[in-house]
Structure formats: C-alpha cells, structure tokens
Structure 1
Amino acid sequence: MDAAMTTSATPPSGPTIARRVLAVLPGLGLALAIAACATGIGRILPVLGSAVPGVLLGVLVRLIFRPGRPATPGIELASHPVLQLSIVLLGTQLSVGEVARVGLTSLPVMLGTLALCLTAAWLFGRLLGVVGDLRTLIGVGTGVCGGSAIAAVSPVVGALSADIAYAISTIFLFNIAAVVTFPAIGHLLGMSQQAFGLFAGTAVNDTSSVVAAAAAYGPEAAHHAVVVKLVRSLMIIPICLGLAALVRRRQAAAEVAAGQAAGEARRTRSPRVLRLVPWFLVGFVLMAIANSVGLIPTALQQPLGSLALFMITVALSAIGLTTDIAALRRAGGRPLLLGALLWVTVTLSSLALQLLVG
C-alpha cells in the first residue's frame, strides 16, 4: 500500500523544458549555421538568393558526414515549425492596398497565367510520368512564387525532402534563365516599363529574381513587378486550401477502403472547414490584415520580411540535411523537363494575355 502511494505521489518522469531545448540545439544549430552561410552567399550574389544555397549546402553537409541521431530533433524543428512560422511572417509584406493598386488590368494576366501553368503541370506531368507531390511542387512553385510557394505547400501535402529539394533546384535554374533572357525579350518586343513589370512579376518565380530581371529593365518596371509579385503570392492561400481538402479526401477514401468504422468514415468524409485550413495560413492572412490596417509599423516591415526569408533558408537548409540523394538520382531528368515546359508555358502565356487584354 505504501509503495503504491509512493509511486502515485512521484511526479511523472519525462524530459524537462531544459532537456528539450538541449535536445534540439545540435540539429537546429547546424541548420542555423548553414542558413547563415547561405544568406552570406545570397548577399554576394543577389540573383542566387539564399534558399537554393541553403538546400545545396545542406545536401553537401549530408554527403560529407551524415548527421547522427542527436541532430534529428533540431533538424525536424527547423524543417517543420520554423518553416510554418516563416509563412506567417510573409503575411507582413502584403496589404489590401497593394492588392488594389495592381488594378483589374493586371489580375487577368496573373490569374490566367496561374491557371494555364497549373493545367500544364497536370497535363505535362502525366505525360512525362512525373506524378504526386513532386509534380505539385514544381507546378505551384512555377505558377505562384517559387521557393515560398513550395515552402507553404510542402507541409500541407506532406512532401518528402527529396521532392522539395528537387523542386527548389528546378525552380532556381529557370529563375536564372529568366533573369538573363527576359530583359532582352522586353526590349525586343518594345515593352513599356509597366508592361515589363507585369511580365516579370507574373512569369518569374523568386522575388529576388523578379527584382533582378525588372531592375535591369528600369526602376518603374522594378516597382510594378514587386507589387505584382506580392499580389501573386496571395494565390498561395486558395491553392493550399484546395490541396488540404484534396489530401483530406484521399485520406478519407483510404480509411474507408481499409475498413474503418462507418462512424469514423463519416466523420472524416465531412470535416469541418476550419480543419482544412492549416494554422500557418490563418496566421498569414491575419498578418496581411494587420499590415493593411496599420498595426505593423513601417519600420518593422523590412526586418520582418528579412526574418521570414532567413527562417525559410533555415528550414530549407534542414530539408537539405535530410534529402535522400538516391531518390534524387532515381527521379532522373523528367522533373527538370517538366520545369522547362512550365517555364515556357508561363512565359508565353504572360506575353499572350497581355496582348489580349491590351
């Protein structure tokens, strides 16, 4: 009896907060160090940015020495919660006013280009045999906003680190191609500053590459391109909601096929709307609203944007540390070809839609 009372009075064992912090330090510290190096590379080469060096350096570190089990908790923290928090902070860079200033003439080009890109991703992906999450990531990354879109969609669909790394690398390759070729295309077609800004904002993926391409054309083009790019980023929200609903539907079908109880199947088949909305997207919208009504001081917007980009780099560095190199080799060149076809599709559709809408 006394032994039983002594046992019940003993506080439950388990890791304390301090132990949990110590557990994540090795992996998180490694991801932070890689992200710091990648950020330095991005400052030296702005066109390159920091996301791609983060992934590549993470993969390189993994090749040189495989991080052991002590690093796993910190790497998992960096590749998931840190990534989701970065998406919330990205909302501080948008406002309702910026959306309104883009104008009705810009929206048809943005929405039309996005619709054509996603349709082409589904069609070309099936033809090339690139299916599943990798096709989704390349399509969304090309159609919306590159690495940021891939970062937002990855936790929604539960993408593998190898798919994320391949998609990021593919998007980066065609960002560089756009920076090199788009100004020449604009001059060849005699595009105005505003027209080229719309072209760059809808057909280039990463923000740094949008700025690089548009700034080479002129300051007015650069300003308009950045606004278009920010508005284009809003498409992350409906895309993530749609993908979340699709994932839930597939999970429900799999559970029913596995013979689960009818009550549970009914519960999964009709989920509440709020359960379909990832919490970080709710945070993203709330931050955008807060920025719109002036709750976020202007002086804080640039630091918050820089912090969001650094957190994305930390997360992508962690993803690089967990990337399965063998899986990348097995993927072959078909995903890269898919990226090329989508890049051409987005480029031509942006130009064609501008011509149609005047």
Structure 2
Amino acid sequence: MPRTQRQPGEQTPPARRTPDVGPQRLAAPRTTVLRHVPGLAVCAVLAAAATGAGLVAPLVGAPVIGILIGTLWRVRLGISPVLLPGVARAKGFVLQLAVVLLGTQLSLTEIAQVGASSLPVMLGTLAACLGVAYLVGRRLRIGADLRTLIGVGTAICGASAIAAVSPVIKAKSNDIAYAVSTIFLFNVAAVLVFPPLGHALGMSQSDFGLFAGTAVNDTSSVVAAASSYGHEAADHAVVVKLVRSLMIIPICLALAALVRRREARTDPATAAGKVNPVRLVPWFLVGFLLTAAANTAGLLPQSTHAALAHTALFFITTALVGIGLSTDITELRRTGPRPVVLGLVLWATVAATSLLLQLAVG
C-alpha cells in the first residue's frame, strides 16, 4: 500500500530510539580506564626519575625525592585537569597496592624469633609516641589527621606507615606531604646522631640494633644507622624493624573504627545501622597479611624478594609523586613550623623511651 504524503504543518513523529548494544555499553568503562592513563603515566615517569636519584642519594630515598619532584612540578607547571583522574588513582589505589607488596618482606617465623625481650621496648615506644603525639599535637593546635600521620610515622615505620594509614583516615594530600617531609628530616638526624650516641653509651651490637630498630623510622634509615655501627647491629635492627612494622595492623584497625565512629556521629542513618566489623578492615590490610603469610609459608621464592621490594618502593614513590602533584604549597605555608616542632618532640620521645626501657629490662 503506498505511503500517505505528510500534509503541510503536520509534525514528523519522533524517531524510535535504538536500544543500546553491547559495544556501546562497553565503551563507558573503557573510557573510564583510559582517562586515568595520562596522570598515571606522568606519575610513573617522575617516579622513575626519583628512583634513579634515590640510587645516587640513598639517605634521602626515592619516596622523598618523588614527593619533592611532584610538588615542584605543581609549583612550576601547575596541573592539567586531564591529569587529575590518574593522579588521584596514583595516590589512592597505587598507594594501597604498595602496602600489600610490603607484606612480601615480612616473615612470621623471623618475627617469632625476635623474642619477647624486644616487645616491651617496641610497645613502650609505640605507646609513648602516640600518647605524646595526641597531647602535644593538640597543644600545638595541629589538625587531627596531620598529628596522627606524624605520630604513626614516627612510632612505626615512617613513610610506609603513613602510606598505610592515609587511606584509612582519608588524609588530605597536604597533610601527607607535610608528614613525610617531617619524618624524613628526623630520619637524617637519627642516622647522623644515633651511632655516635651508641658508642658514647657503650652499647653492644645487639643493644644498638634494638635501639635503631625501635627509634629510627624508615627501613633505609634503620639500615644506614645500624650498618655504620656494625654488621651484627644491622642484622638485629632489620628484624626488630620488621616486627615493628606489624604494628601497622592494630593501628589501622583502631583508626578505621574511630573513623567509622566519627562518621556515625555526623550521619544518623549510619549511626542507627549495625557496625559490621569486617567492613572496618581495609582491603589492602588483608592483602598485606596474606602476602606476609605467603612469604612465611615459602610460597614466595627468595629470588623474588628483591624484585618485590623494589616494586613496592616504586609504587610508594609513584603514589608520593601523585601526592606532590596534589599538594597546595600555600596551605603548607599557612600550617607553619608547628608540625616540625611536633616531629622533633616525638623523635626525642621515641629515642629516650627506647633507651630507658632497654635499661629497665636489662
């Protein structure tokens, strides 16, 4: 039957919508992934440069150099909106993945062999540092997140602890940058001051190893300080440091519970609901425990340890480059020198507590 001609003034009926097809539906996730590529690529390239510089200046280390490079990029060149999704992914997911890889360097067997004799010193320094961080930080009117990061970084394992805690408390990039910088400053001081102090006090190799393992923050600085004292001191310090790193687990769990409690106070719907303990455990902390257990069970060959350690360090450096790219220098200037003062107080507190507890327990 021939089609009837449309009369003048008659409106054309709306076109029938074509339903979405499979490839069109897949385009959105693919686009979402691709938009992270530019920022991640920039962070990775800058992290590679920081890694090379870290080999030349191992006392400074690639993570600190990475955050400095990222911050300088932000100051001199700014940051394009195209880079923002990838930068956010670097300082989020990549940072969490680095924490998982850190577990590959831990052995539960080695931890058991350290013995109960070192636990009083480790737990005592941890409690003293966190307590002083809370009291002095509040006295100095330092924000809760920043004083938490500086306290945990000083008490446990420097940048690695800050990397683990930051996503749990949802810390801002500026607070992370300031905390890492403060920790680095007193790492350098510890490497320079602690070995002469140990000789002046007549400390044995094992005593100084315990001192360095409990009073110095980042692993690289622990090795640097203890190695200058002696090979036996370095071996003992590294094992103590590994045990000390495990304190990340209860700290993260406690902070996750506190964050949940704080959010419940501001959101009545959350407060009314039941708290699921499983949801308090960050996924990357579970990954950290699984990789440590796999290493203990011998599932990770010894030949892979160095590569995994370097990969974890590169991921941390990549994340810190992203944090540097997100850092607002104006805000850091507004914060002033108070966080550095807190870092100095905590550094002195941890060192004094470690020495006093060693003296007390013999």
2:360 counterpart of 1:352: no
In 2, the alpha carbon distance for the partners of 1:15 and 1:165 equals 36
Task: Quote how far apart the aligned CAs of 1:18 are.
Answer: 4.5
Determine which of 266, 269, 273 is the counterpart of 2:272: 266
Cα RMSD of the aligned pairs, angstroms, is: 1.5
Query: 1:57 corresponds to which residue?
Result: 69
1:173-192 to 2 correspondences below 5 Å: 173-192=185-204
Query: 2:3 corresponds to which residue?
Result: none
2:25 counterpart of 1:25: no
Query: 1:7 corresponds to which residue?
Result: 18
Give the match's secondary structure for 2:341: helix
Query: 1:220 corresponds to which residue?
Result: 232
Residue 65 to residue 9, structure 1, CA distance change in 2 (3 Å): closer
Task: Quote how far apart the aligned CAs of 1:7 are.
Answer: 3.0
1:197-216 to 2 correspondences below 5 Å: 197-216=209-228
Query: 1:298 corresponds to which residue?
Result: 302
| TM-score normalised over the length of structure 1 | 0.94
Give the match's secondary structure for 2:78: coil
2:137 counterpart of 1:125: yes
1:325-344 to 2 correspondences below 5 Å: 325-344=329-348
Q: Which amino acid aligns with 2:322?
A: A
Structure 1's consecutive aligned runs of 4 or more residues displaced over 2 angstroms after TM superposition are: 1-4, 6-22
Determine which of 200, 206, 209 is the counterpart of 1:194: 206
In 2, the alpha carbon distance for the partners of 1:127 and 1:265 equals 30
2:112 counterpart of 1:112: no
Q: Which amino acid aligns with 1:188?
A: A
| TM-score normalised over the length of structure 2 | 0.93
Deviation digits for residues 248-274 of structure 1 (CA, Å, limit 9, x no counterpart): 001001112xxx4xxx5321xx31111
Give the match's secondary structure for 2:117: coil
- Gapped regions of structure 2 (runs ≥ 5): 1-12
Give the match's secondary structure for 1:80: helix
Query: 2:99 corresponds to which residue?
Result: 87
In 1, the alpha carbon distance for the partners of 2:72 and 2:212 equals 32
Q: Which amino acid aligns with 2:264?
A: A
Bigger-Rg structure (1/2): 2
Determine which of 154, 157, 161 is the counterpart of 1:142: 154
Task: Quote how far apart the aligned CAs of 1:111 are.
Answer: 0.7
In 2, the alpha carbon distance for the partners of 1:9 and 1:106 equals 64
In 1, the alpha carbon distance for the partners of 2:111 and 2:280 equals 25
Task: Quote how far apart the aligned CAs of 1:10 are.
Answer: 4.2
In 2, the alpha carbon distance for the partners of 1:97 and 1:13 equals 50
Determine which of 166, 170, 176 is the counterpart of 1:164: 176
Give the match's secondary structure for 2:79: coil
In 2, the alpha carbon distance for the partners of 1:255 and 1:14 equals 36
Determine which of 275, 285, 288 is the counterpart of 1:284: 288
1:73-84 to 2 correspondences below 5 Å: 73-84=85-96
In 2, the alpha carbon distance for the partners of 1:131 and 1:2 equals 59
Residue 8 to residue 304, structure 1, CA distance change in 2 (3 Å): same
User: For this pair of structures, how many residues does the alignment match?
Assistant: 349
2:48 counterpart of 1:36: yes
In 1, the alpha carbon distance for the partners of 2:85 and 2:148 equals 28
Task: Quote how far apart the aligned CAs of 1:112 are.
Answer: 0.6
- Gapped regions of structure 1 (runs ≥ 5): none
Task: Quote how far apart the aligned CAs of 1:19 are.
Answer: 3.2
Task: Quote how far apart the aligned CAs of 1:3 are.
Answer: 4.8
